[in-house]
Copies of this chain bind each other. A is one copy, B any other.
């Protein structure tokens, strides 16, 4: 802590999400004290980008872990390494905020749970497709306000552009990236649990395929999952790396939330052939059809709530169990997936 503010440090810049994570935490009022990556080029780019936060380069990871002022460590390291880093961070007495997917195996999850029990530190996860999406946040308010009644089903589409030339080697190896359901599927499962108010669910069907990228044999460019929540709500999602070049953004992410009294559709990053801006929320209730562009109007309350949770040891931003359960279900979906192509 410094002057009542959470002091954060950044290590592990393997995924570009580290920028969103840092932006969110810094804008919410944390001091971003240190940055460290073994790749000094990455660190340099990061420091240049975040001059406004006056971040300093740490000599090594130890300097971050041994600094008593540091409360919270942010990382978007390689997915298969996230658990080990997190356990080390928690054992150094600090909270951890990691990019999704939070881990890639159930064995890692077991060790994470033990470390949480022992250290009482937080292992929080950056499920950006809800937490860092104003459409996603707005949908949460509509559901909470009862606009669509009880949630019957959540359906998600998470297409992403591949840009293979920009991807590091680990992105194409299943052991390191974890598989498509674990990787980008984790956003989808988190959204389902959140919108439906489920604490647990079972995987009833999961499938993956590699339709277009035989040059990357360990890649999965398509995946889909069906879940049933413990409260009877249903979930289906598909994810893919098949975004065509003609789309004006990286992916036409959609979420459909069907309730007993209406439904919501999120056109999260583009309103195809209508509007290239993001955060378009459409919904229909008993009164009529509605549309609102919520970009710039809602903000991202998660980050401030997380900092408060770190100070007060509460779980307002997200419960620990929710953060881990979404990760657990995506790993279960991944390991039980049938390969269909």
Chain A residues engaging chain B, CB cutoff 8 angstroms: 148, 150, 152-153, 155, 157, 159, 204-205, 207, 209, 211-212, 222, 224, 226, 228, 232, 234, 236, 238, 240, 242, 244-248, 252, 256, 258-263, 265, 270, 272-274, 282, 284-291, 338, 340-341
Contacts and interface: CB of A to CB of B under 8 A. Distances in A.
A289 B340 contact: no
A195 to B, nearest CB: 15
B205 A248 contact: no
A123 B129 CA distance: 48
A124 B204 CA distance: 34
B244 A261 contact: yes
16 contacts: A148-B244, A152-B211, A153-B222, A153-B224, A153-B238, A155-B238, A159-B263, A204-B207, A205-B205, A207-B228, A224-B226, A224-B236, A226-B236, A242-B258, A244-B262, A246-B288
B236 A236 contact: yes
Nearest to A148: B244
Contacts of A240: 152, 258
Contact of A284 (B150, B247, B274, B288): B247
Contacts of A150: 211
Nearest to A261: B244
Contact of A286 (B244, B285, B287, B291): B244
